[in-house]
Amino acid sequence: ANATPLEKATSYINLGDWNVSYDRAQRSEEAYIKAWQILRDANFADETIKSIMFPQPLVPVPAYVTHEFSREFYNFSAEDTLQYKGYVDTTIDLDRFGRVGNIRIDATSPDTPRRVRDTLFTYLREKKMRPVVENGELVKVSDIKTRYYYSY
């Protein structure tokens, strides 16, 4: 009953993530906008709200589970230094329902195997991501650039 605005907003963000995962667009939109409004009403700055709701350019949903290809999946902490074999640079569009589209592989490190590019492409095509909220509305975002590092 005495939850902080951040705790309340996080609950709504998690609910939004869950609804996006199950293609419940209206319910997810309501949850994300409620989270945004709670943070706004608590006088969080726009940049702080953005960092809470979108800690990285793409947030796989639901964010509270462990996703394949993540550090957590392989029992690495955020502090662990990993030896990467290479990287893949991508540009994607994200619609207001969390669907990834227009996936482009812009560059790779030398000797990046085709299967790594194909695996990343398939992952992005099949995975839902948290949609972006701006000024209390879900919006489509184009040309999100992300570098993915890989190791195996």
The tens digit of pLDDT for each residue in 12-44 reads 999 999 999 999 999 999 999 999 999 999 999
Q: Given this model, what pLDDT does residue 76 score?
A: 86
CB–CB of 16/35 below 8 Å? Answer: yes
Measured distance CA(89)–CA(150) in Å, rounded? 11
DSSP 53-108: H-SSS--BSSTTSPPTTSTGGGT--TT------EEEEEEEEE-TTSBEEEEEEEEE
The pLDDT tens digits for 39-83 are: 999 999 999 999 999 998 899 999 888 888 888 888 888 888 888
Dmax over CA atoms of the chain, in Å, equals: 55
| Predicted model pTM | 0.86
Q: Which among 17, 12, 59 is positioned nearest to 38, based on CA atoms?
A: 12
**Tokens standing for 67?**
């996703």
Are 107 and 86 within 8 A, CB to CB?
no
